[in-house]
Amino acid sequence: MGWPCCRILTHFILASLSPRRQELIQLCGYPYEIKIVPVDENSIAYPDPVQNCIQTAQLKSNALANSLNAASGSGSLVIAADTIVAVDGQMLGKPRNRADAFDMLILLRGRSHEVHTGVSIIDLGSGQEVNGVHTAEVRMRSYSDNEIVDYVATGDPLDKAGAYAIQHPQFKPVEQLSGCFLGVMGLSICHLLQLLSLLDVPMAADLNSLSTAHQQYQCPLLAKIALKLG
């Protein structure tokens, strides 16, 4: 069975200020714009990280969709996401400060944890909503205290769940990954494409560009997409 080809899509409306998600969404091959409606993410108090990130993504997408005119949004999709790092039953969001970032990186060092990214999509024309979560298992390398200090000093960890960026060219914190590399960055485009197919959104992504974006990490979701298109 091939990819959907029967829907005409105007553009995406991304509910995120994250520069990483704005970079990644371009891999889908559709025009997009950024719109934000403030929400209280602390109002989502699910202790389960999977449910927590899905519900937070839904909170963002619904708030934005409700602020837009459905008629003028025909053919447009609202997309929102939320990422949570989980280890030992503890959920790690963005660090409060540099000391908090240091503590998070100490906690994760040399160990495995999960990165959950919830995604919520709303078709403004039909009102149809699709939600899902991508989970990756990540093992960190045994970086030194000095390496943590140097990395935290760059300020890079402060706006990232779990206080690290898998793609950081100097720190390179990850030793092993099972799942989608882009999901650990903040938005699995491979997972997003699967969800979009449920809304009959035609494939517009360039698989070569998508593969390159994974930086040589093997992605099982990308392999499935390639097989389906083939």
Give the integer Cα–Cα distance in Å for 100 and 115.
Answer: 18
Model confidence over 163-215: pLDDT tens digits?
Answer: 999 999 999 999 999 999 999 999 999 999 999 999 999 999 999 999 999 99
Q: Which residues are identified as catalytic?
A: 82
pLDDT computed for residue 136 by the predictor: 97
CB 196 within 8 A of CB 164: no
Q: How far is CA 18 from the centre of its chain?
A: 10
165 by Cβ neighbours in 10 Å (0-12 / 13-18 / 19+) ranks as buried
Compute the mean pLDDT over every residue in the chain, rounded to the nearest whole number. Answer: 92
Q: How far is CA 29 from the centre of its chain?
A: 17
Per-residue confidence band for 46, with pLDDT thresholds at 50, 70 and 90 = confident
Task: Enter the DSSP assignment of 27.
Answer: G
Give the CA count within 13 Å in the CB-facing half-sphere of 124: 24
Give the integer Cα–Cα distance in Å for 117 and 191.
Answer: 10
- Matching residue, tokens 């520069």: 19
pLDDT computed for residue 53 by the predictor: 95
Model confidence over 53-71: pLDDT tens digits?
Answer: 999 999 999 999 999 865 5
Q: Which residue has the higher pLDDT, 226 or 148?
A: 148
Q: Which two tokens stand for residue 90?
A: 């503890």
Name the residue type at position 138. V
Q: Which two tokens stand for residue 129?
A: 């909503």
pLDDT computed for residue 69 by the predictor: 66
DSSP characters for 175-203? EEEES-HHHHHT--HHHHHHHHHTTTPPP
Domains of the chain, each with CATH number or no CATH: 11-229 (3.90.950.10)
Per-residue confidence band for 227, with pLDDT thresholds at 50, 70 and 90 = confident
pLDDT computed for residue 1 by the predictor: 47
pLDDT computed for residue 77 by the predictor: 95
pTM to 2 decimals? 0.91
pLDDT computed for residue 74 by the predictor: 65
